[in-house]
Structure 1
Amino acid sequence: MTARVGYLGPIGTFTHGAALDLCPDAELIALSTQAVAIDALGAGEIDAAVVPVDNSVHGLVLPTWDALLGSVDATIVADTTVPVTFDAFVKPDSSTPRVIVSHPHALAQCSAFVQAQGLATRAASSTAEACRTLADGEMAIAAPLCGDLYGLEVVDRGVEDVVGAATQFGKVVSPGQRVDPVQSATDASVLLLAVVPQHNEAGALLSVLSPIREAGLNLVNILARPIAHSDREFLFLLFVEGMDEAAAHSGLLGAIRGTGATVANLGRLSGHVRHVTPATRSLPRRMTVDG
């Protein structure tokens, strides 16, 4: 039976390309949001979902992580990294553009081009959706393949701010349905842990991180998400590099739980997302000013 795999549509999105890479023999089903994809997975309507997880310039894709945290057991079992480059398009015979349309992440990744145009912006649910619904007087920013897919004319190519940026995508399954095993631990792989400390007090996060530090493991990222209807409590997503919870670090999850924390394993990525070409280190302007 052919696997049914959901991805953020419509066709032509970067997620579509990632789904073709991760699930080349599957029936691909375009869905509207990460939350819809994860809900469809939980309901058994699809066998897997492909969603963006991290970008080498703008960091974690929060709607994906919130959707994973809102699921019962959705788990990342594989990943792929897709180079991110953008072109600007208009409809044939369009009037002079007055608005630039794209996904918010794409608008942010092409901010210099957007500012140079001096036009208003409109957010779309995806870069491909911006092209599919493009109106007269609008300019879309999207993946190069969208031009041919949606019959658009190229205004400019390679309009991204950072050449060589990349987005990491995860294949998500439900453990009760999955055939794919979670990928094996390596020194470069990143285990994804959601942790809620036992007590909402100063030093609570430090107590959770201490077993990881004592094991000599590196955190490549950490994300705090507020817990709804709580008194300033937070859930922490920990991205732990090189952790092998089944062998070398078999006692580490127990040690974290031993602090009283609640822990959930969200799966594993093959590594931390990086640019696909070398990039010059560039601190935000505020961090380059002394005083």
Structure 2
Amino acid sequence: MTTKTLTYLGPEGTFTHQAALTAADRLAPVLGERPRVVPADDVPAIMRAVESGASWGVIAWENNVEGYVVPNLDALIDASDAAGFARVGVDVAFDAFVRLPAGDAGRPDPADYAGAKVSAHPHGLAQCRRFVDGHRLRPEPAASNAAACRDLRPGDVALGPSLCGPLYGLTTLAAGVQDFDGARTEFLVLVPRAEATRLLAAARDGGEAEYETIVTFIPLSTGPGVLADLFDVLRDAGLNMTSFISRPIKGHDGTYSFIATIDTAPWQPRFRRVLGEVAEHGDWVKVLAAYPRRERPNPPVDAWMLPEGGVHLVAGGLGQDWRTDARVRKELLW
């Protein structure tokens, strides 16, 4: 039997590589052997490998600092034969690296690199903005954080996971340069759609009971009330929606696809009826992924987490006449 492969965004050392290794460990009991992880140059190559049946794939999906990885989301919406059946999370932290000349064992000083070029994946650059701005570094996006580290030239700076240092012979300029501790990226494991159906059925038969589903809706009629009608259908079915975003249909003003994460499986009777109702209404619908439900914390949003400005009656110390308060009028444009 041929060993199954998991294709990830390379080179070695990316967060996607870490996710692929974690996924391989989790899939070993399912497959009877540990799949082999294989790097790809870009996400389109991963999607081609999955859709052709040559490999399974791992793609970044959502980060709790920068949000959804939009190109990957669009790629999965547009894919003709790929679906997610598992989800893997990786804690995200960044170090800043430099490449010292051979024989130089000194400790580099960040001040010596002020104004230098800094390279990382666009999400990596965004998550290390304070470090980049504080040292007046010049951002240059790379295909991945690991690629930035692999291709780093003397005099420049790269941002990436700590394992990139020993992997690519780099010296740490500064550790933990991310803006936010506790950052995490979630990844989807992709397979051809028929395999997703088979694997999910096997998981159900094995006792897995709770699932999440990522689904895309495209209403074919647009105008007032279309989105409210969709929400009504989900609400009336008693379904819990944990996230909702929209993406424009490229090049067509006023048209959108809507992507929702629902707290149940697509074969569960209530959700199955909803999917059927949407389809019978003439709208387009597609399940992008279904996977065993993760334990999800439900912490409160404390006042210190809120952005600047806005209206919050408790934290703002506003009284009963708050509607006439100048601060409220400013924030609500009354």
TM-score of the two chains, using structure 1 as the length reference: 0.89
- Within 2, Cα distance between the matches of 1:270 and 1:117? 43
1:235 alignment counterpart: 257
**Closer/same/farther in 2, CA of residues 191 and 123 from structure 1, 3 Å limit:** same
Q: What number of residue pairs does the alignment pair up? A: 288
Alignment of 1:1-291 (within 5 A): 1-24=2-25, 25-46=34-55, 48-93=56-101, 96-97=112-113, 98-177=116-195, 180-181=199-200, 189-243=211-265, 245-271=267-293, 282-285=305-308, 287=310, 290=328, 291=330
Unaligned runs of 5+ in 2: 26-33, 312-326
Name which of structure 1's ranges 217-226 and 81-90 shifts more when overlaid on structure 2. Answer: 217-226
Unaligned runs of 5+ in 1: none
**Aligned-pair CA distance for 1:229:** 4.4
- Within 1, Cα distance between the matches of 2:175 and 2:136? 18
**Aligned-pair CA distance for 1:35:** 2.0
**Closer/same/farther in 2, CA of residues 233 and 245 from structure 1, 3 Å limit:** same
Secondary structure of the 1:198 match is coil
**Aligned-pair CA distance for 1:72:** 0.7
**Closer/same/farther in 2, CA of residues 16 and 236 from structure 1, 3 Å limit:** same
Q: Residues 13 and 161 of structure 2 are in contact (CA less than 8 Å); yes or no, is this contact kept in structure 1?
A: yes
Q: Residues 90 and 138 of structure 1 are in contact (CA less than 8 Å); yes or no, is this contact kept in structure 2?
A: yes
Q: Residues 217 and 243 of structure 1 are in contact (CA less than 8 Å); yes or no, is this contact kept in structure 2?
A: no
**Closer/same/farther in 2, CA of residues 13 and 278 from structure 1, 3 Å limit:** farther
Larger RCO of the pair (alpha carbons < 8 Å, separation 6+)? 1
**Closer/same/farther in 2, CA of residues 227 and 216 from structure 1, 3 Å limit:** same
- Within 1, Cα distance between the matches of 2:170 and 2:62? 29
% identical aligned pairs: 31
**Aligned-pair CA distance for 1:221:** 1.6
- Alpha-carbon RMSD: 2.6
Q: Residues 237 and 270 of structure 2 are in contact (CA less than 8 Å); yes or no, is this contact kept in structure 1?
A: no
- Within 2, Cα distance between the matches of 1:101 and 1:168? 22
Q: Residues 200 and 291 of structure 2 are in contact (CA less than 8 Å); yes or no, is this contact kept in structure 1?
A: no
Secondary structure of the 2:252 match is coil
- Within 2, Cα distance between the matches of 1:57 and 1:267? 22
Q: Residues 168 and 273 of structure 1 are in contact (CA less than 8 Å); yes or no, is this contact kept in structure 2?
A: no
**Aligned-pair CA distance for 1:244:** 5.1
